[in-house]
Amino acid sequence: MRIQNNSTAHVDYVQVENNAVDEVTDHGNTWRDDAIEVRDSSVLDMDRSRIANNKDSILRVSGKSYAHFYDIEIDANAGDTAIRVDSSELEISGANLDDDDADVYPNPVVISGHETGIRVSNGSRLELQRVEVNSNTHRGIQVSENSILNVWSGGLVLKQNGLDHDGWDGYGPALEIERNSSATVDRLTVEGNGRGIRVTRGSTLSGGWNGDVSQEDYGITIVDNVKWGIEVQDNSNLDIAKVKVSGNGETPNIDTDDYDIHYETAIRISDGSSASINEGIIKNNFGGGLSLYHNAQLDLYNLTVDSNGLSEGTYGVNGGINIADNAHLNLNLVTISNNGNSGLQVEGNSKAHLNETTVSGNGNGTDWVSAIRVTKNSQISLNDSTVITPKGNGIDINYWSKADVSNSSIECLDPDDNSRPYAFNLWKSKLSINHDSSIDQNTISLKMAGHAIGRVEIQKYL
């Protein structure tokens, strides 16, 4: 089926099957037509139809065209990329089961069995709901070159994509947003893919606001992907809410030269990018919970970072949150607990601000692990916050770093082995314990088996 040259077609109850015979060019190359092509400012509106057993790609929409599909079935088609949208618009929606007239084919619409499920490029728009993209070997969906993806309340599921992609060391992403593109999602599940979501080259991802975390109903769920869950890099932006990120990174990276084993962090933000995550849980990931580096910024609100980094690589286990290289972190109403190493590490000219935040129970209780580490000309501030460590110092501050503490408590549990941890351990650094005149009560509580402040060497300006 081809619609072209400013044409319009409306079709219902159609079967597009067994099309695209092999054709041989004058140069001996073999090619096939797509099952459906909409081009040259044309329009296709297709409802309650089936597209199956075609020998090449399902659909191509190009040249400022528009296509809308509702209540369709897609099954057993060939082609490297199932659907391509180039400088055009495409809407796909599975049947609304509340509409008695619409339920012809199963919900959701499933796109599977290709190298790439959907590729959107060159200023295009893709709108999806009640759609599942699964079992595509290289990636699920790629949104590129100033294009837009919208996922409405009916949701999008991305499962088992990118599990056979040599260009990504064997594992590709479920969703790739790149080159100044954007995605807004009401409901998104990313499960069991090679990698989760990649946002890069000046692109943005936002959404997830429709969930209810109190009922364990998450707007965005990113679970059990082989490598990382989310990567944001190259001056991109992430703004998501009501999020669950869990069980990612089970398969480690193994260095081919020295066979070092390293587990990837669940969420990675870098290279001038910014992110805001509001409500949710980052839990039980095999590598660390979050990493932030290279001039990146992250705001977390009402979030739990728990039990990450427990899988041991060549250099041990990983912690909750690690920031480095001029990174900035703001934590409000955040709990960082039970992670394999330090709850929070701040290094390399970075800054972290903790407000109404709890850092507790990190480390295994056997090895010496400080709750928070601040090093290499970095800064941290604590306000209305609590730090509890089972075995280790409360806060290590070293190498020309600085800590400001107000109205907070630090407790180092007695490991009963004469190790005598400090509440603060300083080396060539500065500690300010402040009275905040703007609040009625301002108590700084320090409880530890050793000294309140261990001073090995202190900066001259203290």
Confidence of residue 169 (pLDDT cuts 50, 70, 90): confident
Instruction: Spell out the residues 6+ positions from residue 154 whose beta carbon is closer than 8 angstroms to its own.
Output: 93, 94, 96, 108, 129, 130, 131, 187
- pLDDT value of position 68: 98
Average pLDDT over residues 352-361: 98
- DSSP label of 422: -
**Which range among 83-92, 192-201, 250-259, 276-285 shows the weakest confidence by mean pLDDT?**
250-259
Average pLDDT over all residues of the chain: 92
Q: What pLDDT shows up at residue 441? A: 60
| pLDDT exceeds 80 at position 179 | yes
pLDDT at residue 462 in the model: 39
Edge-to-edge strands, sheet with 15-17: 15-17, 50-52, 73-75
pLDDT mean over 238-253: 97
Q: How do residues 142-162 score in pLDDT, each as one tens digit?
A: 999 999 999 999 999 999 999
Would you say 380 and 347 are in contact if contact means Cβ atoms under 8 Å apart?
no
pLDDT of amino acid 257: 82
Residue with tokens 């001996």: 28
| pLDDT interval class at 419 (50, 70, 90) | confident
What's the confidence (pLDDT) of residue 168? 77
Identify the CA nearest to 201 among candidates 275, 270, 297, 119: 270
For 99-151, the pLDDT digits (tens) are 656 578 988 999 999 999 999 999 999 999 999 999 999 999 999 999 999 99
How many CB atoms are closer than 10 A to CB 390? 19
200 confidence band (pLDDT: 50, 70, 90): very high
Q: What is the pLDDT of residue 455?
A: 58
Give the span between the Cα atoms of 305 and 320, in whole angstroms: 6
Across 247-314, the runs of DSSP E, i.e. the strands, are 253-254, 261-262, 267-270, 274-283, 290-293, 297-306
Q: What integer pLDDT is reported at residue 233 of this predicted model?
A: 98
Amino acid type, 261: I
Q: What is the pLDDT of residue 101?
A: 64
Q: Which domains does the chain have, with CATH numbers?
A: 1-23+32-207 (2.160.20), 342-462 (no CATH)
d(CA 297, CA 295): 7
pLDDT for residue 315 = 82
Task: Tell me the two tokens of residue 269.
Answer: 């933000």
- Residue 460's pLDDT is 40
Q: pLDDT at position 314, please? A: 86
Beta-bridge partner residues of 298? 275, 329
Note the pLDDT of residue 41: 98
Pick the closest to residue 351 from 376, 370, 326 (CA basis).
Answer: 326
Asked whether 343 and 321 are in contact (CB, 8 A), the reply is: yes
Q: What is the pLDDT at residue 346? A: 98
Q: If you average pLDDT over residues 393-414, what whole number do you get?
A: 94
Strands (DSSP E) contained in 230-378 are 230-232, 237-246, 253-254, 261-262, 267-270, 274-283, 290-293, 297-306, 321-324, 328-337, 344-347, 351-355, 358-360, 372-375
Give the mean pLDDT of 15-30.
69
Reference 152, options 203, 72, 71, 210; nearest CA is 210
Q: Kindly state the average pLDDT of the residues 164-193.
A: 94
CA angle 173, 294, 300 (to 5 degrees): 75
> What is the rounded distance in angstroms from the CA atom of residue 392 to the CA atom of residue 250?
28
In whole angstroms, give the CA distance from residue 267 to residue 291.
6
What is the reported pLDDT for 242?
98
As a whole number, mean pLDDT of residues 291-318 equals 95
pLDDT value, residue 436: 61
Better-scored residue on pLDDT, 450 or 196 = 196
Nearest to 183 by CA among 125, 234, 232: 125
> How do the residues of the chain divide into helix, strand and coil, expressed in percent and rounded to 5?
0, 50, 50
pLDDT in tens, 41-71: 999 999 999 999 998 999 999 999 999 999 9
